[in-house]
Amino acid sequence: MLTIASWNINSLRKRLGQLERLSEETQADVICLQETKVPDDKFPTAEIAAMGYAHQAFAGYGGRNGVAILSRYPLRDICQHGHCERADARHISAVIDREGDPITAHSLYVPAGGQIPDIELNPKFAHKLKFIDAVADHFAGAHGLRDAAFVAGDFNVAPLPADVWNHARMSRIVTHTPIEIAAIERVKRSLYFVDAVREIIAEDDPVFTWWSYRAADWQAVNKGRRLDHIWVTPALRQRIAAVEVMVDVRHWTPPSDHVPVVVKLTPP
């Protein structure tokens, strides 16, 4: 079994103890992180190695953004990917070098896109759409359709009606607008990715991975969105054994506004 976890940790150094707890509770073999917010020279390599992840790939961008892949298995072909002519630490990949079962891992952090869903009025939204298109182009050119690979991360898009608390209202809000959904669907089509969570959990069953800090009692209000995903290529589809969205992690102190997504893959 290969256990993969993905989490927008919203500051790695602030939540290093929570990362250790996540490791202990899931026994994850691979953890993909987003929004690490730590420069490369301050990445806590020794502390993370002590958790069992001696193999690490990471990219920092000062105190912003940041992505990482932490693995109990050797990593090779580590590559940082800059999209839209920006090296802003939003995408890193590596091959998990398991004997007889190499799998390429991508940790991805899509820009949020600001508040106004209009490319003319909001340059951040325009950049988000260009970034997503660039990622689709990257996957189409970097892999073959039979490759074993997955992309995990904070896509900042909730694609399905049941991925948000109110589909009609949220269709006018950044993260769930039709233009963003169409863009992220192009990424999915680039390699015929399979949404691992929705492979197990029905598409009409509400699933959320993010709740705003603004709601004091976030769980009672439950105005969530499913922004965090793990997608696998068709070569891995039949190996999806279980998925979990770790909602209780939102109670950990200090909380990230995102919770981890976990996927288990059977042996080949």
Question: Regarding the domain with residue range 2-265, which homologous superfamily does it belong to in the CATH classification?
Answer: Endonuclease/exonuclease/phosphatase (3.60.10.10)
- The pLDDT value given to residue 63: 86
DSSP class of 89: S
- The pLDDT value given to residue 48: 98
pTM for this entry: 0.96
User: Could you tell me where the beta strands, DSSP code E, fall in 45-178?
Assistant: 55-61, 64-71, 75-80, 91-96, 103-109, 149-154
Is 36's pLDDT higher than 90? yes
- The pLDDT value given to residue 21: 98
Question: Tokens at residue 148, please?
Answer: 């074993």
Is 190's pLDDT higher than 90? yes
**pLDDT band of 62, cuts 50, 70, 90:** confident
Is 96's pLDDT higher than 90? yes
CB atoms within 10 A of CB 112: 14
Q: State yes or no: cis peptide before 39, omega within 30 of 0.
A: no
Is 102's pLDDT higher than 90? yes
